[in-house]
Structure 1
Amino acid sequence: MTTVLNLDPITTLTREQFFQLCQANPDVPLERSSTGELIIVTPIGGEGGKREANLIIQVGIWNQQTQLGVVFSSQTVFSLPGGGDRSPDVAWVELSRWQGLSQEEREGFPPICPDFVIELRSRTDRLKPLQTKMLEYWASGLRLGWLINRKDRQVEIYRQGQEVEVVRMPVVLSGEDVLPGFTLEVN
């Protein structure tokens, strides 16, 4: 579950101010929507953390074998071109795009949209905010994204230039041309 703080009556956070706020409060996981809302991300429980770690491992093993990019955990905040500052549960950036960033950009909140993301709906997450987050990635250049919704037993697949596809679980997802040769079985 997430908590959204409306700061409009007081201020609008710039990207730099958001970064400073996160640095000053490292124990509070924060995001900023493309409309400037400050979002406090609630920590997940053991089962959700286990699922997230398993996904990171699977994408990481594929990436270790292919050496095509860089894998990131949910602790990484990306400053999206569309204006938001978001943390996907799993993210992957193609290697040449990552190497195109300066060292300073890599050490801060990378100003880049991942090529691939996975968002997991936890049992307390509302679906609409996750779909909005996926659309922010999509509008910022996301090439492939999966919103895994175990609660409704479905996966929403986001592809650049296409309508969102909804598939029922169980399903075997393909990394398509973004993560060539990668598959994920979702039960």
Structure 2
Amino acid sequence: MAVQAPRLTAEEFERFAALPANADRRLEYIGGEVIEVVSNQVSSALVYRIGLFIGMYLMQHPHVEGFVTGSDGGYVIAGERYIPDVAFVSKARQAAPSDRPYGLVPPDLAVEVLSPTNDPDAMMTKIGNYLAVGTVVWVVNPPKQTLHVFAPGQAVKPLGIDDTLNGGDVLPGFTLALKDLFAPAE
């Protein structure tokens, strides 16, 4: 949901986002607009599960060096400011997490879990910009129990509940059966 009508520059956005009144808000900058990221418990639970699966994979594969960020870790992507729900950054791209609100190095992988407040046009803009900077994107649609893999220079790969996601070149050897991702909470 857009929170401010006039278009801003990236510098104006960063000043706006840094205001004390915005300290607890998750704000993105897409197409000159300030977007407040609002989720729900269904999407949040899936975000947690994906981060957990990736974290467990990294613990079991110490040769894949890097770090995972959650939905409070932002990134500068093609001049805009995004907060993916989960992201992986390889050590080859960045040695350690940044202390900036929006890190300057794009992630190798960005995971976006759709919630009812996501604007489809804004999401398509984000995907295009992620791809332009070399980031692989997984877009998860909770109600449809689908996941789409967007990778630079490749066709979109749609996956359904009976499919298995693989980590490709970013997370070699990573696999996740979507039925395990979308398993109902115990």
TM exceeding 0.5: yes
- Partner of 1:69 in structure 2? 66
Q: Is 1:79 aligned to 2:76, yes or no?
A: yes
Shift of 1:174: 0.2
- String of CA shifts for 1:21-51, please: whole Å, max 9, x gaps: 2222111210001x32211112x22222221
SS, match of residue 55 in structure 1: helix
1:70·1:98 contact (CA, 8 Å) conserved in 2? no
2:70·2:86 contact (CA, 8 Å) conserved in 1? yes
2:13 is matched by which residue type in structure 1? Answer: F
SS, match of residue 97 in structure 1: coil
Q: Is 1:134 aligned to 2:130, yes or no?
A: no
Relative distance call for 1:66 and 1:23 in structure 2 (3 A) is: farther
Give the gaps of 5 or more residues in structure 1.
Answer: none
SS, match of residue 128 in structure 2: helix
Q: Distance in 1 between matches of 2:13 and 2:40?
A: 26
Aligned residues: 174
Shift of 1:177: 1.6
Q: Is 1:145 aligned to 2:137, yes or no?
A: yes
Q: Is 1:90 aligned to 2:86, yes or no?
A: yes
Shift of 1:78: 0.2
- Partner of 2:184 in structure 1? none
- Partner of 1:29 in structure 2? 26
Q: Distance in 1 between matches of 2:174 and 2:117?
A: 29
RMSD: 2.0
Q: Distance in 1 between matches of 2:126 and 2:81?
A: 10
Relative distance call for 1:87 and 1:161 in structure 2 (3 A) is: same
Relative distance call for 1:29 and 1:91 in structure 2 (3 A) is: same
- Partner of 2:5 in structure 1? 6
1:3·1:41 contact (CA, 8 Å) conserved in 2? no
Give the gaps of 5 or more residues in structure 2.
Answer: 180-186
2:161·2:178 contact (CA, 8 Å) conserved in 1? yes
SS, match of residue 89 in structure 2: strand
1:137 is matched by which residue type in structure 2? Answer: Y
SS, match of residue 47 in structure 2: helix
Shift of 1:139: 1.5
Q: Distance in 2 between matches of 1:90 and 1:28?
A: 17
2:76 is matched by which residue type in structure 1? Answer: S
SS, match of residue 98 in structure 1: coil
2:104 is matched by which residue type in structure 1? Answer: P
Q: Distance in 2 between matches of 1:162 and 1:54?
A: 26
SS, match of residue 32 in structure 2: coil
TM-score by length of 2: 0.83
2:69 is matched by which residue type in structure 1? Answer: F
